[in-house]
Amino acid sequence: MNAGTQNKMIKHISVRRSAIEKMLETMREFGANGWELLALWVGEIEPSGEAAHVVQAFVPKQKALTSEEGVGYFVSGETLFELNRALAETGLRLIAQVHSHPHMAYHSEADDRYAIVTAEGGYSLVVPDFGDAPADPCAWAAYQLRGQEWLELDESDVRRIFKVIE
Ligand SMILES: [Zn+2]
């Protein structure tokens, strides 16, 4: 994306606990089959460009992958195209991507390479234990894309940025 038209970085994200709980439940269902799950947090960005509200933890059509590297997910170009069209039609924006891991939460090389979020300042969250985790991003791993690199956020950053609302 052209730097001149780049959006401001989002510094605060609110998300309903019920949306997280539902996402974690789906992660656990997939996890029972040994599959990771990718969810996309879509929502509204305030005119300031600095605060966002997640409206939905959207689960795109995806294929679970198993390889010698472990497990993963694959979302087709067609699904991404449809997602972008739906976002354009509704005016909603992609706020963050969230996916589950079998055990430890971290950004793998594949996660770096195949991230759906590609905007500078974008967020990627990884939930441990196939979603058997608290409904609190502080208990997960969180990364932000800075200068084409995914940097892990420390817990105080995560606490400042993500607000779980009832
Ligand atoms: Zn991963």
Instruction: For residue 71, give the nearest of 23, 117, 122, 126 by alpha carbon.
Output: 126
Is pLDDT above 50 for 2? no
- The CA 108 to ligand 1 mean position distance, Å, reads 5
Half-sphere exposure of 15 (CA within 13 A, CB side): 27
User: Contact, 145 vs 115, CB < 8 A?
Assistant: yes
What distance in Å separates the CA atoms of residue 119 and residue 148, rounded to the nearest whole number? 9
What distance in Å separates the CA atoms of residue 123 and residue 112, rounded to the nearest whole number? 12
- The CA 48 to ligand 1 mean position distance, Å, reads 31
Tokens of 2: 């052209």
What distance in Å separates the CA atoms of residue 59 and residue 97, rounded to the nearest whole number? 10
Query: Model confidence over 64-76: pLDDT tens digits?
Result: 876 656 678 889 9
Query: Model confidence over 94-123: pLDDT tens digits?
Result: 999 999 999 999 999 989 988 999 999 999
- Mean pLDDT within 115-133: 95
Domain membership of residue 144 as a residue range: 3-165
pTM comes to 0.92
User: Residue 23: which CATH number?
Assistant: 3.40.140.10
- Mean pLDDT within 71-90: 90
Please give the backbone phi and psi of residue 36, each rounded to the nearest 5 degrees, phi first: -75, 160
- The CA 26 to ligand 1 mean position distance, Å, reads 16
Q: How many domains are contained in the chain?
A: 1
- The CA 33 to ligand 1 mean position distance, Å, reads 16
What's the pLDDT at 8? 76
